[in-house]
Amino acid sequence: MRRSASKAGGAARLAAAGLLAFLVPGSTHAGPPAGCVQVNTITLNNQREPAVAAKADGEFVVAWSSTTSYPAIYGRRFSAAGEPIDGTELRLNAFADEDSRLDPDVAYASDGGFVVTWQVMGGPGDDSSWSVWARRFAADATPLDGEEFLVNTITQGWQLDPRVAVLDDDSFVIVWENFSADVRARRYSAGGVPLDPVEFVVETAGGGPGRPAVERLPGTGFVVVWETHSAPGDSFVSVQARRFATDGTPLDADQFQVNTYTDLWQQNADVAVTASGGFTVAWASYGSWGSDDSAWSIQGRRYESSGVPVDAEELQLNRITLGSQRYPAVAALGGGFVAAWESFASAGGDDDPPSVQAARFAADGLPLDPLDFQVNCYTTGQQLRPVVAELPDGSAVVVWESTAAADDPDDRSVHLRVVRPAIFADGFESGDTSGWSSTVP
């Protein structure tokens, strides 16, 4: 429950701490909260597995997979205010066939163009199983590649879960899970020319690594995180990481383990680079050093850009501990970070789980919100697997998959919400907080 601030003293402490109330359901102090927006206009069959990236001016793009008349990857651009730039979704894949296309990811280049990657069942050049493909787009969403191109050179078995990051020089790196129980990576120039003749192995130990995530390290290169079985520091499923220079040279001789809690599963890791140049890893843990021992919880750990941990052990990010908290996403936010996840409990009015919950954290890792807050507006059906990106004004855009929506009752749809800092007003001059609908301690 939110506590009321104590007149001028409470308000002064808030101002001194630099805390900003977020416009979330139930917090209407600075006007009505920004509403949820349905991203897809095509409503036939499933729209799912969204990804999001934002550029320096606040414009952002959402990509997702669709099972309409044939499987496709779609995208749609939005302004920083959350208004659609594109009247309807753009088809991002060029090949029009019945091959399944799933699990896209997207990243912006410095010129406002973007790179999208996804996995395909079959396809030209690799029809053995799942393969990884990519395509580049200009700032106006015009394709820079006539067709998508095959990323993996190994065509035996499956290649899954691709993720992409654009680096300082606008080259980009794509990472994915390989059938031989490896995490692989391949780099490309800004013009889409391969910089590696073949993909290279990211991990140095463990068995069955998968579900990688990758992020640019400014001035350094990039960092990859993933989950794996039987690593040296954890006999079960753990979260591992390794840093690389822009030219692909490993900055860490070996991978390093992120989690210190080693009972049972640690999985579904995501990573975000913060304003200091360090990075934060978030993941789902079955069990916890913190207060959440009911089932799955959301954990996080901060690192310097050098790979030295800032936190001696992981921080529990969720405050709601009923039920499971799964599938986290994390993004930088100011000097700190914001995390969003799928939850089987809610700080809002969603009693039809799962819902999408989120929380913000300062540069020192302390929470900026007294409780987790609910992001989704629809509270019927399931709200699943959020992704999140930072906007330049201190806002965050959260995107997720929903099984219930008034404008798309046919299976699954994709929704977003821009969550903005509120402006303290309303009696602030006199120290009276009676006009505030909610305050933070």
Record the tokens describing residue 93, joined without a space. 């894949």
CATH superfamily for domain 22-419: TolB, C-terminal domain (2.120.10.30)
pLDDT in tens, 77-121: 999 999 999 999 999 999 987 778 999 999 999 999 999 999 999
Beta strands in 37-92 (DSSP E): 37-38, 47-54, 60-67, 71-78, 90-91
Residues 125 and 249: their CA atoms lie apart, in Å, by 28
- Is the Cβ–Cβ distance between 22 and 439 less than 8 Å? no
Q: DSSP states of 350-406 as a string?
A: --SS-EEEEEEE-TTS-BSSSS-EE--S--SS-EEEEEEEE-TTS-EEEEEEES--T
Strands 90-91 and 101-108, bridge-based pairing:
unpaired
Strands 383-390 and 396-402, bridge-based pairing:
antiparallel
Residue ranges of domains in the chain: 22-419
Which H/E stretch holds residue 16?
A: helix 7-17
Q: Which pTM value belongs to this model?
A: 0.88
pLDDT in tens, 209-254: 789 999 999 999 999 999 998 777 666 899 999 999 999 999 999 9
Amino acid 239: pLDDT: 96
In sequence order, the β-bridge partners of residue 337 are 332, 361
Neighbours of 143 (CB within 10 A): 17
Beta strands in 68-206 (DSSP E): 71-78, 90-91, 101-108, 114-121, 130-137, 149-150, 159-166, 172-178, 182-188, 200-201
Among 438, 441, 390, 440, CA closest to 418: 390
Amino acid 244: pLDDT: 98
Q: Per residue of the chain (441 residues), what is the pLDDT tens digit? A: 323 232 233 332 223 333 334 444 433 222 233 489 999 999 888 999 999 999 999 999 999 999 876 789 999 999 999 999 999 999 999 998 777 899 999 999 999 999 999 999 977 877 778 999 999 999 999 999 999 999 999 998 899 999 999 999 999 999 999 987 799 999 999 999 999 999 999 998 877 778 999 999 999 999 999 999 877 766 689 999 999 999 999 999 999 999 999 988 999 999 999 878 899 999 999 987 776 677 899 999 999 999 999 999 999 999 988 889 999 999 999 889 999 999 988 877 777 889 999 999 999 999 998 899 999 998 888 999 999 999 999 999 999 999 976 666 668 999 999 998 753 323 333 333 333 344 344
Amino acid 264: pLDDT: 84
